Amino acid sequence: MDTEGTTVFWRYDTRLIHPLDSYEHYREGATSELCPFQIHGRRLSHLLAAMSVVRFGNLTIESLSFAAGSEVEARRTKDLIRSFDPECYQIYLSVNGGHFEEQAGNQIVFRPRDLALYDPSLPQHSINSTNPTGMRVILLSIPKAMVPIPPKLIQPYAGRLLPRNLHGYSFITQLLINLADSTEHTDEFATESILHDYAVEMISQRVGTCNEIRSATLRALRLACIRSTIHQHHADATLDLQRVADAANISLRSLHKICQEAEITPMQLLKQVRLNACRDTLHDPRARAMTIKAVHTSHGYGRSDQFARDFKKQFGVSPKEFRLHTDPL
């Protein structure tokens, strides 16, 4: 487990152990980070699963991936629900669909990019099918104390899909995928705020305590989605705006419109992401052996003179001065 600031990354992969031990390994790993489940493998020697966890303040994003043929049935029964388990709600994203979930009498066979609401304090049953492309789910966990909606209003919707016509639906799914896929995160508390605000308003609209998601929340969500997409691809010096739009699953016109709402151009946002990444690398003691040129080329900047000018304009000092000022005594 690697810990840095408020972000925790944790991964395991059953490819690292003997096949006959893989289900026990998965059960122990899932229990330590999620909640206890009874795990039953249908083909004992064929489980191939990986898990990662990242935290943004009080929120957690967990990604579970299963290779094709890794059939697993999991049950969270009443006797497995512990009093000290996290009190939270989960926004459940099925990335590629094809599996079954049941909670509180509600049953779902997921399609790709379906979102659903779950309550880990209630029993749950899931079956991961033999999807030919494998299966992946991403869970956004939010403490119940941070959701100002009476639990009695939310409980009837546990185990039910969230409507695809909710404003911002495609952006929250893409943002969750981007955040789960990334191993580097910045602006953690800002990200926590964006995820929290949208999730709470999405739940509120689902249960009928509000009519629509606020425009300010949607603007912040859309920009966060674009920023996280750029962050994933910024190291490619040939990255252009069409590829950013394609990766974010939006049109080029939408990309410009979203940035315009934030009073920034897409190219300015790309430059900002690259400069921040260069700054972080220059500040990182583990990167002391890298030359400044190696730093900026690793983050998509080709020309040293252009990088030096942009860096000084953004941060007020040259890259060399910045590194000297951050060197340990």
Domain boundary among 196, 213, 245: 196
The verdict on 147 and 296 lying in the same domain is no
Question: What pLDDT is attached to residue 42?
Answer: 57
The verdict on 290 and 178 lying in the same domain is no
Q: Assess contact for 95 and 138: CB atoms under 8 A.
A: yes
Domain boundary among 176, 196, 216: 196
Question: What pLDDT is attached to residue 3?
Answer: 35
User: In 101-182, which ranges are continuous DSSP H helix?
Assistant: 151-154, 169-181
* Total count of domains within the chain: 2
Q: Assess contact for 174 and 229: CB atoms under 8 A.
A: yes
> What pTM was estimated for this model as a whole?
0.84
Instruction: Collapse the DSSP code of 61 into the 3-class scheme (helix H, G, I; strand E, B; otherwise coil) and give the result.
Output: strand
The tokens describing 294, both together, are 């190696």
CATH of residue 314's domain is 1.10.10
Question: What pLDDT is attached to residue 275?
Answer: 95
Please give the backbone phi and psi of residue 46, each rounded to the nearest 5 degrees, phi first.
-120, 15
Question: What pLDDT is attached to residue 65?
Answer: 84
Question: What pLDDT is attached to residue 127?
Answer: 82
What residues have CB less than 8 Å from 308, skipping those under 6 apart? Answer: 318, 319
Question: What pLDDT is attached to residue 38?
Answer: 65
Q: Assess contact for 267 and 259: CB atoms under 8 A.
A: no
Measured CA to CA in angstroms, residue 150 lies from 83, 155, 207, 213, 314 at distances of 20, 9, 10, 18, 46
The verdict on 161 and 16 lying in the same domain is yes
Please give the backbone phi and psi of residue 256, each rounded to the nearest 5 degrees, phi first.
-65, -40
Query: Does residue 206 belong to any structural domain of this protein?
Result: no
Question: What pLDDT is attached to residue 25?
Answer: 57
Beta strand spans in the chain (E): 2-4, 7-13, 38-41, 49-56, 59-66, 72-76, 88-94, 100-103, 106-109, 114-118, 124-128, 135-143, 160-161
Tens of pLDDT along the chain (329 residues)? 333 333 333 444 555 666 556 556 555 655 555 566 666 665 544 566 777 888 899 999 999 888 777 777 778 888 777 776 778 999 999 999 888 999 999 999 999 999 999 998 899 988 876 567 788 999 999 999 999 999 999 999 999 999 999 999 999 999 999 999 886 666 777 899 999 999 999 999 999 999 899 999 999 999 999 999 999 899 999 999 999 999 988 999 999 999 999 999 999 999 999 999 999 999 998 899 999 999 999 999 989 999 999 999 999 999 999 998 875 54
Question: How deeply is 5 buried, as exposed, middle or buried, from its count of CB atoms within 10 A (0-12, 13-18, 19+)?
Answer: exposed
Residue-range definition of the domain harbouring residue 83: 2-196
Question: What pLDDT is attached to residue 8?
Answer: 38
Question: What pLDDT is attached to residue 51?
Answer: 79
Query: Does residue 118 belong to any structural domain of this protein?
Result: yes
Instruction: Collapse the DSSP code of 48 into the 3-class scheme (helix H, G, I; strand E, B; otherwise coil) and give the result.
Output: coil
Domain boundary among 196, 226, 251: 196
